[in-house]
Amino acid sequence: MAYSSRSSQRAALLAGAVAIAGLLTACGSHDVHSTPQKVSGTAGPATETSEGSASSATSAASTPGDGKSSSAPEAATSSATGTGTKPGSSGSRCHTSELRASVGRDNPGAGQENFPVVLTNESARTCTLRGFPGAAFVNASGSQLGPDPRRESGSPATVTLKPGQSAWAGLTFSNPEVSGAHTGTPTALLITPPDERDPLKVMWTAGPVPVSGNSSSVFLTMFSPGTGA
């Protein structure tokens, strides 16, 4: 009987152990089920981080783009329109947009045709010209006639132009009837101030100019004060 009692106690203990194990197993399975919920719960912050990264990348991409669009075109526009110098400043070079171009009367001599190319300061500030102008004869379609003019030798001097003042450079070529050079008749002369890109257009009414063959070169001198008249 004592043995049976002990057996009964052991059976009861075993049953209790099984019950406890069942409870522990149930708790364990609940934790496993909660793990995906926890991962799912962190998906929100992960998505926010991704959105933040995308936003930062967009910001980084647009910032250089904005910087490029605000500075590079401004520099380009400044260079193209001749407005790089702040209004009201003085002593800096004259820009194309501040000048008016004209061609003076021919002063022929010894088979040469000599024209003063004149630039007049039409701005409200003092500016300077130094060196040679750019020049090109063009036809009605805008195509250049003949090669680029050649430059006479000499030492450049800075010409200071107050508002309304002018500077001139000599444009010289041999008379085609004397030199025998092949000619073309331009409709305009493009004149570009020193260190500028945009030219000024002056209608050409002085007839044919040499464009090829012997003695076809056109020469330019450096700017001097005045109109060359």
Those residues of the chain that have pLDDT short of 50 are 1-5, 7, 17-90
Tokens 């020193």 label which residue?
194
Cα gap 2→7, rounded to integer Å: 9
- 96-225 has which fold? Immunoglobulin-like (2.60.40)
pLDDT of 58 reads 29
Tokens matching residue 116: 């003063």
Cβ neighbour number for residue 82 with a 10 Å cutoff: 21
pLDDT of 102 reads 97
In degrees and rounded to multiples of 5, residue 21 shows phi and psi of -60, -40
pLDDT of 151 reads 95
Q: Kindly list the domain boundaries of the chain, sorted by start residue.
A: 1-81, 96-225
pLDDT of 24 reads 41
Tokens matching residue 96: 């194309």
The answer to whether the CB of 133 falls within 8 A of the CB of 193 is yes
SS3 99: strand
pLDDT of 35 reads 33
pLDDT of 154 reads 87
pLDDT of 10 reads 53
CA-based torsion, 182, 217, 222, 139: positive or negative: positive
Q: pLDDT per residue over 86-145, tens digit each?
A: 434 446 999 999 999 999 999 999 899 999 999 999 999 999 999 999 999 999 999 999
Nearest residue to 101 (alpha-carbon basis) of 116, 89, 86? 116
Cα gap 20→15, rounded to integer Å: 9
Residue 195, classified by CB atoms within 10 Å of its CB into exposed (0-12), middle (13-18) or buried (19+), is middle
pLDDT of 155 reads 87
Residue 45, classified by CB atoms within 10 Å of its CB into exposed (0-12), middle (13-18) or buried (19+), is exposed
The model scores a pTM over 0.75: no
